[in-house]
Amino acid sequence: MLLRILLTGLLGVLWDGVTAFGGVRLVDGENKCSGRVEVLRHEQWGTVCDHGWDRREAHVVCLELGCGLAESALHEAHFGAGSGEIWLRHVQCSGHEASLTRCAVVLHSDAYCTHENDAGVICSGTLLMPTLTLLSPHTVFSPGEAVRFGCSVLLGHHLSDFHLYKHGVSTPLVTQRAEQGPTPVELTLTDIETFHQGSYSCRYRIKSGFPPQLLSSPPSNSINITVVELLTPQHWYNTSTEAPAGSVIKGHNFNITCSTPQQYPGGSFQLRLIRSNGTVRQTLPALSPSVTFTFPDAQSSNEGYYYCLYRVQMGGRTFISRESQPLPIAIRDPDPVLSPMVISWIVSSLTFVVTVVVIIIVAKVLCNKEKKPTELERETRTCVDNTYVALSINKL
């Protein structure tokens, strides 16, 4: 078989050299992409005998005409018998030829051909749709990662290149030359960013016609990829207004709120407290972009540095944001409390004490006055007494 193809190929090259073909057309079909195969030689259209006429030869005709690929290779004048010369008999293509007239011909075929053996073809009109697959094991990615796609097509030859398209972008993001060999061809998006999130499809191009032109296939199925970029959450705390900044009064309530600028479904917030004797973690589901951790009764065990992070599970992977800046919280003892009752009690006690002291002082002063008459009093009395004595003497 291989020998035969080699032989016919060699003969075909010789044959090619001595003939002058001008083109190929399909006639009497439904459209320009189906019908009886006719070739032009010496400015005269003639037919092709159906011996050895197969899908491989039909593909070459369809590609040459820009009609996609062959859907069927037809025998026995399916589109009616032609007229004039039968220019090609027992043509054998390898599939890589740009034109039917470049395919080899089995020269010494003993076949007897009439126009009842005219070959026909129905082409697909367009190229077959390629298939896009994801070679990466998941559909959700972090920025900076690479996404590997595979684009495959049944056609093995005439392939020129493969393109990866993002929905909504007209130019291909990745181009890969077609290698001889099995598809799928790998198309890799490297170092992705959030704007790469979206829907992807691939196309291939084939060299078709003579002179060759590039014919683009229809787009493949599409695959969505998601790019998760978790931004660092913010956090703050609220407590009673009398607490100085950065602190909470022991026994009062306080709340720490964690907030993310971009929320994904099913995420959660983790609050981490680093205190002098260890680390404590708490988690709450991120039902909204901000979540509040409540502490109804502040104790010294609540003192330390608080950190928030946001975590989300998507497509079987866990994504974790960076931790927020530390939020230090000190727990203070309450100031001594002066209630109105205590104040009035203190005031009345003080009043009582002051009154008692005043009474004692006054009593003491009065008592001293009675017991010890002063010098002046004594002299005065003496003086009065003497006067009385003197007066009495004068009367005598």
Nearer to ligand NAG, 74 or 227 (CB): 227
Is 253 a binding residue for ligand NAG by CB under 6 A? The answer is yes
Candidate residues 288, 294, 349, 382; the one interacting with ligand NAG per rule CB under 6 A: 294
# residues near ligand NAG by CB under 6 A: 15
How would you classify the pairing of strands 44-48 and 86-88? parallel
> Considering only residues 44, 83, 190, 300, which one is a binding residue for ligand NAG as defined by CB under 6 A?
300
- Please check whether residue 293 is in contact with residue 258, taking contact to mean a CB–CB distance below 8 angstroms: yes
Among 72, 109, 160, 239, contact with ligand NAG (rule: CB under 6 A): 239
Collect all residues with Cβ–Cβ distance below 8 Å to 196 and sequence separation of at least 6.
Answer: 147, 166, 189, 225, 227
Segment interacting with ligand NAG, rule: CB under 6 A, options 58-66, 155-163, 174-182, 248-256: 248-256
CA distances from 366 to 228, 308, 358, 371, 372 (A): 95, 77, 12, 9, 11
The correct pick among 277, 318, 368, 394 for binding ligand NAG (CB under 6 A) is 277
305 scored as a contact of ligand NAG (CB under 6 A): no
Site string for ligand NAG, 217-236 (x = CB under 6 A): -----x-x-----------x
Judged by CB, which is closer to ligand NAG: 296, or 340? 296
Q: Work out how close the CB of 54 gets to ligand NAG at its nearest, in angstroms, rounded to a whole number.
A: 38
Interface segment toward ligand NAG; rule CB under 6 A; list 155-163, 262-270, 293-301, 377-385? 293-301
Beta bridge partners, 353, equal: none
Question: Does 288 interact with ligand NAG (rule: CB under 6 A)?
Answer: no
Where along the sequence are the contacts to ligand NAG (CB under 6 A)?
199, 222, 224, 236, 238-239, 253-255, 277-278, 292, 294, 300-301
